[in-house]
Amino acid sequence: MLRDLKTRLAGAAAVTVVTGAGISADSGIPTFRGNDGLWNKYRPEELASPEAFARDPRLVWTWYNWRRELIAAKQPNPAHHALVELERRVNTFRIITQNVDGFHSLAGSQSVSEIHGNIWKVRCTQCGRVAANRDVPIAVPPCCAVCRGLLRPHIVWFGESLDPGELRQSHDALRDCEVLLIIGTSGVVYPAASFGAVAKARGAFVAELNRDPTPQSDLVDAAIHGAAKDLVPELLD
Ligand code: BJW
Ligand code: ZN
């Protein structure tokens, strides 16, 4: 199956990649679901929701400070680096990532849509200004340099809409690709969970590379199980 995928990739002019927390797991960043997942220890509705932030911004920022510290101490792994090389080899290429760690760009990938936002960006709840902020820890509660409004993480929480520009770019990439790789995502969070079906309906060859089977495994053309840090570099051999 891996050999078939390698042949398809070698002949493809347009490749799109969807990534999730599993690709950064090999860098030491916890995933969300499963035994070691963040949602096993913390309740998303208490920490990663607009209601939680409205109730207790200090608590939410304290949790994000912990995540910032964790991510700042880690590095992209061979799977992120292999995608940088894949981008060099392919004419039209885009990564659509659900991850907020910024590791694809840090590794050197150029065309990246961060559909769930970025932990190193903040957004003013009053004037809407988005700014980069790499403070570890960030002063709690942080306030906007322009209007002194309360800042929140520039991250998409459950029930919130994704950025329309990022979504449009993602849909263009799903429509145009010949091969779609879905790497390290449990495939349960929408709209990303529908991206495989969207690309497949447009005629793309869809492959899932994941440690465990997912609800998407039966829908894709190739489901390959293993660690992203091993599987993704192997695609380039
Ligand atoms: C390895 C590995 C290794 C491990 N190598 N693999 C349609 C139907 C039903 C519901 C909805 C729908 N449309 C929208 C919704 C509502 C909701 C949703 O999807 N709910 C479902 C859960 C039921 N979606 C939304 O609210 C989204 N907004 C939206 O659609 O707005 C419009 C709308 C709203 C409401 C209704 C209808 C329309 C927004 C979603 C925002 C998600 N935000 C989070 C939290 C961010 C907080 C933060 O980071 O600080 O984003 S949730 C969390 O899950 C995070 C992730 O990006 C996201 C996906 O998780 P991911 O990446 O898949 O990680 P895991 O942990 O789940 O899986 C890791 C995988 O890796 C596993 O499979 C492992 O096996 C594997 N793995 N190690 C390879 N080494
Ligand atoms: Zn402001």
> Ligand 1, residues 158, 198, 208: which to mutate, most atoms within 8 A of Cβ?
158
Residues 6+ apart with CB under 8 A from 44: 32, 158
% of the chain with per-residue pLDDT over 90: 92
Given this structure, which CATH class describes domain 30-73+118-155?
alpha beta
- Whether domain 2-28+76-116+162-234 has CATH 3.40.50.2300: no
Residues contacting residue 219 through CB under 8 Å, at least 6 positions apart: 196, 197, 200, 206
Indicate yes or no: pTM above 0.85.
yes
Enumerate the β-bridge partners of residue 207: 181, 222
**Calpha distance 13→66 (Å, rounded):** 41
Give the mean model confidence (pLDDT) for residues 166-184.
97
> Residue 188, SS3?
coil
Residue in 116, 120, 105, 112 with CA at minimum distance from that of residue 72: 120
Q: Would you call 109 helix, strand, or coil by DSSP?
A: coil
**What would the pLDDT profile of 20-48 be if each residue is shown by its tens digit?**
999 999 999 999 998 889 888 888 888 99
Pocket test for ligand 1, best of 36, 190, 235 (most atoms within 8 A of CB): 190
Q: Give residue-wise pLDDT tens across range 148-165.
A: 999 999 999 998 999 999
Cis previous bond, 50, omega within 30 = no
Go through the chain and tell me how many residues it has: 237
Q: Is 145 exposed, middle or buried (0-12, 13-18, 19+ CB in 10 A)?
A: exposed
- Extents of the domains making up the chain: 2-28+76-116+162-234, 30-73+118-155
**183 beta partners:** 19, 209
Q: Is the CB of 225 under 6 A from ligand 1?
A: no
Query: pLDDT tens digits for 187-213?
Result: 999 999 999 999 999 999 999 999 999
